[in-house]
Chains A and B, each alone.
Chain A
Amino acid sequence: MAKLTINKEACKGCGLCVTACPKKILRVSATESNNQGYFVVEEIAPEQCIACAFCATMCPDCVITVEK
């Protein structure tokens, strides 16, 4: 059981986490944006997360917390 917490207000939607994810379970939302005006990243299949933290390692803005 793994859990990602995404600080969506700090996300800039750059998509680097999406490329880093080995399970391909992240994407930049086409509809959800934050107060900065960025479309933010979202998790599309949380149950497949393996808590490898590659997404958090790649994120320039420290918006992802990973728990297991």
Chain B
Amino acid sequence: MAVVFKKTEMLTDTPLHYCPGCTHGIAHRLVAEAIEELGLKGRVVGIAPVGCAVFAYKYFNCDMQEAAHGRAPAVATGIKLTNPDNIVFAYQGDGDLASIGMAEIVHAAARGMNITVIFINNAIYGMTGGQMAPTTLLGQKATTCPSGRDAKVNGNPIRMSEMLATLDGPSYIARCSLADVPNIKKAKKAILQAFKNQMEGKGFSFVELLSTCPTNWHMSPVKALDFVKNEMTAQYPLGVFKEVE
């Protein structure tokens, strides 16, 4: 019998700590598969964020650095400039990237740093227990906006991909969804493209992945997928926002 699908060797055997149905696991797998398929084993360095993915260094089967909250693009910059032949990727959540680390991501993008950033947008602070994220939708409930996010009180959600796409530095910016199999396949293509751009020296590449948080959304894993398809995708349209030939 031929193997149609098996776990990539670029993930370790350590069981993921994520809650049941959390799509972080899918994102991890797609990144790891891209690394394997592009033959990058032996030259990759990843950066784990602070947030739910803080233990990402246990899962990606490559050299890893754990960054302070929001600083992964700065850490990636230091790594890439020190060892330019390395393929360097940062894996960040929405609090990490779009709130406390806003300056680092914007400037890494503006510099056109030849790194790849994977941005998990699940519209909530998961690790700390469900507080409002910069990407929390208007009306969406969180423990720090218990009546639902109100633009007048809590401000508006931030569309990172669109914002970064206004800069001249990035070579590739895409937003994908992890809500169903066709979208996961598209996300895989986008991640492959992001890494290819880095391999070709095209500069900063960025893939935003609309992701779920069943636990803090207080939904079943399956209902959480529906929330991504219906609510999140309306606020955060899918597509490629920047692509430099």
Contact = CB atoms under 8 A, between A and B. Distances in A.
- Report the contact-size class of chain B (Cβ under 8 Å from the partner): 20 to 34
A12 B5 CA distance: 19
A32 interface: no
Contacts, number: 75
Interface of B: 1-7, 11, 15-16, 18-26, 29, 180-181, 184-185, 214, 220-222, 225
Contacts of B225: 16, 19
A3 interface: yes
B181 A57 contact: yes
B23 A66 contact: no
Contacts of B3: 65-67
A66 B5 contact: yes
B5 A56 contact: yes
Interface of A: 1-3, 10, 12-16, 18-20, 38, 51, 53-54, 56-62, 64-68
A60 B7 contact: no
B20 A14 contact: yes
A56 B108 CA distance: 34
B181 A60 contact: no
27 contacts: A3-B1, A12-B20, A14-B20, A14-B221, A15-B21, A15-B222, A16-B21, A19-B222, A19-B225, A38-B20, A53-B4, A56-B5, A57-B26, A57-B181, A57-B185, A58-B180, A60-B16, A60-B22, A60-B23, A60-B24, A60-B25, A60-B29, A61-B15, A62-B11, A64-B5, A65-B3, A65-B5
